[in-house]
Amino acid sequence: MRTVTFLMLALLSFGCSTTHVLDSWKAENASPLKRSTKRAVVVVANNKERRERAEAAFAEDINAVVARNLFTPEEWQDKDLVKARLLEQGFEEVVVMRVVGVEEEQTRLRGPMWSNWMGLNTPYVPKTRVDLVTSIYDITEGRLVYQLSSHTYEPTSVEDTMAEQVKAGLKRLRDDGMLVD
């Protein structure tokens, strides 16, 4: 019974995505971020549908506004107009998440190497890794204040990936002393 329970837990965890924070950076003299700050969210990705879903999930998770929704596509191309209008509307920060890479890796399954009495079998399975960089800009001062590099293995959905990214990012922000509750 114990073996069956262990195998079920192993199979369930194998299907879940995993997010790892690789690195973070904060600007000199950067003030801790406040939850009450009005912030906008931008996700940079090639696929429009996934980008929109990611922006919506990300904005909801960090209590922000999707910046793209405040502008027409033509206005969005004018960076000076976007910045001026965000400042006029009281926004202080813009959080930008970029997909910087997607890779397929081959991962060897752990366990017995002998599949049968005749030979050795080393099973490999594909594993998808999505690399992301999240940047926080203080638009009132016009500078980058924080940056986080992370990757997610086996993303199950855009919404789940955003939730994991936010959870991992908030933990790192707290660890770095950059988040005031």
Per-residue pLDDT of 77-131, as tens digits, reads 999 999 999 999 999 999 999 988 888 877 776 665 555 666 566 677 778 888 8
CA nearest to 65, candidates 50, 82, 48, 78: 82
CA distance linking residue 165 with residue 132, whole number of Å: 9
Quote the mean pLDDT of the chain: 82
pLDDT of res. 13? 36
Span 63-69, average pLDDT: 93
Measured CA to CA, the distance from residue 181 to residue 172 in angstroms comes to: 14
Residue 71 lies in a domain: yes
Domain membership flag for residue 12: no
Q: Is 3 inside any structural domain?
A: no
Are 149 and 22 in contact by the 8 Å Cβ rule? The answer is yes
Q: Are 133 and 24 in contact (CB under 8 A)?
A: no
The CA angle 140-43-76, to the nearest 5 degrees, is 65
- CATH number for the domain spanning 176: value is 3.40.50
- Alpha carbons 179 and 31: distance in angstroms, whole number: 9
Domain count, the chain: 1
Please tell me the predicted confidence (pLDDT) of residue 157: 82
Distance CA 125, CA 130 (A): 17
**How far apart are alpha carbons 116 and 137 in whole angstroms?**
57
Residues 6 or more apart in contact with residue 36 via CB below 8 angstroms? none
Q: What is the pTM of this model?
A: 0.77
Q: Please, which residues bridge with residue 39 across strands?
A: 93
Structural domain harbouring 175: 17-180
Report yes or no on 174 lying in a domain. yes
